[in-house]
């Protein structure tokens, strides 16, 4: 039923594999405090939304904790609160996730309520309208800000016609027309045993996790994983300006990255930390903020979408300074592509990434979610244990080669939402 991965040098979590209900879960067992977390996911999410009905899956996910089986919304919420159970479901562009955090003694109730939510969602009309109102308000708030408009235009321009281009939470117009039958169909398409990934952490034994998995997942329909359209090549769309009345412009910039399983993935993370992700020490922060005072902050990193990394960055600045900010950004992009990193920059980046690794697994929820993310990205069970050693093995020559391969200043696409001057 279970077997532990062999210990390796460097930071390592004792990850165990637990098999039950025809599924395999990754578990980090820790009984220091009587709390455990369970996370699971499927491929799909907003990618399954019908065209013109954006937000269907996200809305359906939100409704799973708004009543199930014999429990209406208030009774369901009371049952969670009485046992201090944190149960949540959500959808993003390419996936659907569920999970809970609970005291060990509350595990039976957490499993019962999570199973009920997935197997017997009520979708009561009053709950649907309440969730719809929240979703519409959130969509409107996003569109009211330059940052929200810039992000929306960026994805629409980068992947036109593909689900990745759409708003996972929907638009006010699409959300208004989503009916209960469409919500129920979305859940039926999404929730099944096939393709389910599971991870757990905290005060739970392998045997108890196996029992929980049987109760939680064995009764789900067998189903089949949804076929998602492959992510097309990133469209180098140049520059898009979205007129927004604002004293500042919000900028989203980026370009194609690399597949999550690419052997250069970690080297790319290091290169991007040096260039754009290292707080005040990054080259972009030094050039844009410290040396020229163009913006309060700027940063970029790899955003994973359909198991493919997209380089995504943001900055906000006065309308009159947008052109200079973009020019400096492109200059630093080109300099990193041409010269790579210094030995000191590499050492600092590796020290940060290795030193901060344990903080990513500092509590049960983050550990379960971190294990799940590893599985979603196709990592082997020993990947985490070997990460510090792989990072420390990187050389300036390797970072230079990866930077030259990855960073294309001429292909850096930008969306500016505001009233920029001089573009």
Computed over every residue of the chain, the mean pLDDT equals: 94
pLDDT tens column, 22-39: 999 999 999 999 999 999
CATH topology for 2-217 is Cytochrome Bc1 Complex; Chain A, domain 1 (3.30.830)
Residue 210 has pLDDT above 50, yes or no: yes
Percentage with pLDDT > 90 across the chain:
90
Residue 373 has pLDDT above 70, yes or no: yes
pLDDT attached to residue 3:
45
Cα(311)–Cα(269) distance, integer angstroms: 10
Name the residue ranges covered by the structural domains of the chain. 2-217, 239-418
pLDDT tens column, 90-143: 999 999 999 999 999 999 999 999 999 999 999 999 999 999 999 999 999 988
pLDDT tens column, 70-92: 999 999 999 999 999 999 999 99
pLDDT tens column, 141-187: 988 899 999 999 999 999 999 999 998 999 999 999 999 999 999 99
Query: Phi, psi at residue 4, to the nearest 5°?
Result: -90, 145
Pure H helices in 44-179? 56-63, 73-82, 107-119, 125-144, 146-158, 172-176
Give residue 213's Cα distance to chain centre. 24
Q: What is the DSSP letter of 276?
A: I
pLDDT attached to residue 45:
95
Q: What distances in angstroms separate CA 67 from CA 102, 127, 292, 324, 334, one per listed residue?
A: 19, 8, 54, 53, 54
* Confidence tier at 10 by pLDDT (50, 70, 90): low
Q: What distances in angstroms separate CA 149 from CA 75, 155, 156, 304, one per listed residue?
A: 38, 10, 11, 21
In CATH terms, 239-418 corresponds, of 3.40.190.10, 3.30.830.10, 3.40.50.1000, 1.10.1040.10, to 3.30.830.10
Cβ partners under 8 Å of residue 129, min gap 6: none
pLDDT tens column, 46-55: 999 998 999 9
Residue 383 has pLDDT above 50, yes or no: yes
* Confidence tier at 225 by pLDDT (50, 70, 90): confident
Give residue 282's Cα distance to chain centre. 23
* Confidence tier at 229 by pLDDT (50, 70, 90): confident
Residue 7 has pLDDT above 50, yes or no: no
396-423 mean pLDDT: 96
pLDDT attached to residue 377:
93
The first and second tokens of residue 108, run together, are 């039976």
Domain 2-217 matches domain 239-418 at the CATH topology level: yes
387-394 mean pLDDT: 96
Whether 131 contacts 86, CB under 8 Å: no
pLDDT attached to residue 4:
43
Residue 1 has pLDDT above 70, yes or no: no
Instruction: Count other Cβ atoms within 10 Å, centred on residue 165.
Output: 19
* Confidence tier at 5 by pLDDT (50, 70, 90): very low
pLDDT attached to residue 103:
98
* Confidence tier at 2 by pLDDT (50, 70, 90): very low
* Confidence tier at 8 by pLDDT (50, 70, 90): very low
Residue 336 has pLDDT above 80, yes or no: yes
């Amino acid at each position: 039923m279970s077997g532990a991965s062999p210990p390796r040098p460097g930071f390592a979590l004792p990850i165990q594999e637990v098999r039950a209900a025809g599924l395999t879960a990754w578990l980090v067992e820790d009984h220091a405090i009587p709390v455990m977390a369970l996370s699971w996911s499927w491929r799909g999410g907003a990618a399954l939304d019908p065209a013109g009905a954006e937000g269907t899956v996200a809305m359906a996910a939100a409704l799973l904790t708004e009543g199930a089986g014999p429990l209406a919304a208030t009774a369901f919420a009371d049952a969670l609160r009485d046992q201090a159970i944190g149960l949540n479901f959500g959808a993003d562009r390419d996936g659907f996730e569920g999970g809970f955090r609970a005291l060990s003694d509350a595990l039976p109730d957490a499993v019962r309520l999570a199973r009920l939510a997935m197997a017997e969602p009520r979708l009561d009309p009053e709950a649907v309208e309440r969730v719809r109102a929240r979703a519409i308000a959130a969509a409107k708030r996003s569109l009211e800000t330059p940052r929200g408009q810039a992000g929306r235009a960026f994805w629409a321009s980068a992947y036109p016609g593909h689900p990745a281009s759409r708003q996972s939470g929907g638009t006010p117009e699409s959300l208004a027309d989503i009916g209960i039958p469409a919500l129920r169909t979305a859940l039926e398409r999404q929730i099944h045993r096939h393709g389910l990934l599971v991870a757990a952490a905290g005060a739970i034994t392998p045997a108890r996790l196996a029992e929980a998995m049987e109760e939680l997942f064995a009764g789900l329909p067998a189903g089949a994983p949804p076929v998602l359209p492959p992510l097309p090549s990133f469209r180098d769309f140049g520059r898009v300006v979205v007129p927004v009345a604002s004293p500042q412009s919000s900028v989203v910039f980026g370009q194609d990255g690399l597949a999550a399983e690419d052997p250069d993935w970690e080297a790319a993370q290091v290169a991007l930390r040096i260039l754009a992700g290292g707080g005040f020490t990054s080259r972009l922060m030094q050039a844009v903020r410290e040396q020229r005072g163009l913006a309060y902050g700027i940063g970029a990193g790899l955003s994973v979408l359909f198991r493919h990394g997209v380089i995504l960055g943001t900055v906000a600045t006065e309308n009159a300074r947008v052109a200079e900010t973009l020019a400096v950004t492109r200059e630093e992009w080109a300099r990193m592509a041409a010269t790579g990193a210094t030995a000191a920059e590499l050492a600092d980046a590796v020290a940060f990434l290795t030193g901060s690794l344990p903080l990513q697994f500092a509590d049960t929820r983050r550990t379960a979610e971190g294990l799940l993310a590893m599985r979603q990205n196709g990592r082997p069970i020993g990947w985490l244990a070997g990460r510090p050693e792989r990072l420390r093995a990187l050389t300036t020559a390797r970072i230079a080669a990866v930077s030259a391969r990855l960073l294309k200043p001429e292909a850096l696409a930008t969306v500016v939402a505001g009233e920029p001057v001089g573009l």
